[in-house]
Structure 1
Amino acid sequence: MTRVKICGLTRESDLDAAIEAGADMVGFVCGVPIETPRELAPARTAGLVERVPEGVTSVLVTMPETPGAGVELAERVDPDAIQVHDCSPDEVAALADRTDARVLAGVDAASDDLDQYATVADALVLDSTDEQGAGGTGETHDWDRARTVVTDLDVPVLLAGGLTPENVADAVRTVDPFGVDVSSGTERSGGVKDHTAIRQFVDQATASQPVTT
């Protein structure tokens, strides 16, 4: 069954709604050099991570200036996994060597370095990124290419980028990813989740089956 990650959580009530809906992973944005209503202070992030029950993976989503900065932040927040964006394969490898948390590499779907990331990360988050290397753009990308990536790489791939309750079933059928990752597609406003949309997203993602060829 397709795993579901609900990202960009900022409130206890939204976190609880994601967990109740059946999310497998929950993401918290902290330590990013861009302006976003989803960013949390480290102490706030740690408090929400502590609220995540066993069996649900807590994910720190960040853009560290150096692998060392990523390690330091992960030690403060104590997540199950750390998802980094705008990092080279070498930086991802250095981070993975220095933390016990699983390391997810957020990568642009059009990148030519995906095979290199796949050798050093525990999973890839295949996203549409902006000029700063950040995800969460709300834009979809080429799902046919994404399916090729999923087929060719020997690493779990989470599909992100412009997913909503309305299109996630088609995405799962087309790409057959390990998981799907949504942030703005389940929001009422920036950083505030729509609990009905969360439930619909999880239901649609987990009920869908890939198209076999």
Structure 2
Amino acid sequence: MKIKVCGFTQAQNARDAAMLGIDAIGLVFYEKSPRHVDIDQALEIVQALPPFINRVGLFVNADSHFIDEVLCEVPLDTLQFHGDETPEQCAQYAMPFIKALRMNKKTNLVQMAQDYHQASGLLLDAFSDKAYGGTGEQFDWSLASVKTLDIDLPIILAGGINTENVADAIAQVNPYAVDTSSGVESASGVKDIAKIKQFISNIR
């Protein structure tokens, strides 16, 4: 089970978390998020990481020129699109990308997997009409069970995942990876290392 922790804002905090054995860290390039980082902060965080950590940049309906600017300055491995980006907009950077979907009963996951077939994976988050993710809210996991859906793309489960519910979430959905942010925080953008350690332990 792959583990991604998203929304770091401090270099040492990200390094401490990465040293525990997580697979990926997320950097949020979205100004409306309380976990937003600018290019200088992101570069400082990336430079502090140990080897073999996937560095994911999260964008929400961002201008392509801004994404190009970030890519010129920050060595990212994967892009994560959390807005209303089309498949063509996601694929234009010739980089691995994840498309986030805000899940509710109207979401046709099979169709979305076909539409975004160029993606490296689909990240499933809770639907909110107030925010593009990062709400800490959980959605109905029965909508995302890999056991009952014919989907080729890896599924990354997000949305309210924390130390208490991660084992149950994995049992219900059987995802490729889990992604947490507020579920392992002591404050917005500050990760609680003890919680991350417990999170990993509860998964493995």
Same fold (TM over 0.5): yes
Specify every segment of 5 or more residues in structure 2 that has no aligned partner in the other structure, as ranges: none
In structure 1, what is the equivalent of residue 4 of structure 2? Answer: 5
Match of 1:46 among 43, 48, 56: 43
Partners of 1:131 and 1:142 lie apart in 2 by 16
Partners of 2:43 and 2:166 lie apart in 1 by 30
Partners of 2:81 and 2:6 lie apart in 1 by 13
Specify every segment of 5 or more residues in structure 1 that has no aligned partner in the other structure, as ranges: 208-213
Superposition TM-score, scaled by structure 1 size: 0.85
Superposition TM-score, scaled by structure 2 size: 0.88
* CA gap 1:89/1:47 in 2 versus in 1, 3 angstroms: same
Partners of 2:140 and 2:83 lie apart in 1 by 20
Show the 5 A alignment for 1:93-104.
93-99=88-94, 101-104=95-98
In structure 1, what is the equivalent of residue 103 of structure 2? Answer: 109
Aligned residue for 1:188, secondary structure, equals strand
What displacement does 1:53 show? 2.6
Q: Which amino acid aligns with 1:86?
A: G
Partners of 1:149 and 1:88 lie apart in 2 by 28
In structure 1, what is the equivalent of residue 145 of structure 2? Answer: 147
Show the 5 A alignment for 1:34-73.
34=32, 36-73=33-70
Partners of 2:84 and 2:47 lie apart in 1 by 26
In structure 2, what is the equivalent of residue 211 of structure 1? Answer: none
What displacement does 1:95 show? 3.4
Q: Which amino acid aligns with 1:109?
A: M
* Paired residues, number: 200
Query: Retained in 2: the 8 A contact 1:59–1:80?
Result: yes
Partners of 1:175 and 1:79 lie apart in 2 by 28
* CA gap 1:16/1:44 in 2 versus in 1, 3 angstroms: same
Partners of 1:83 and 1:191 lie apart in 2 by 18
Show the 5 A alignment for 1:1-213.
2-30=1-29, 32-34=30-32, 36-90=33-87, 93-99=88-94, 101-110=95-104, 111-112=107-108, 113-131=111-129, 134-148=132-146, 151-205=149-203, 207=204
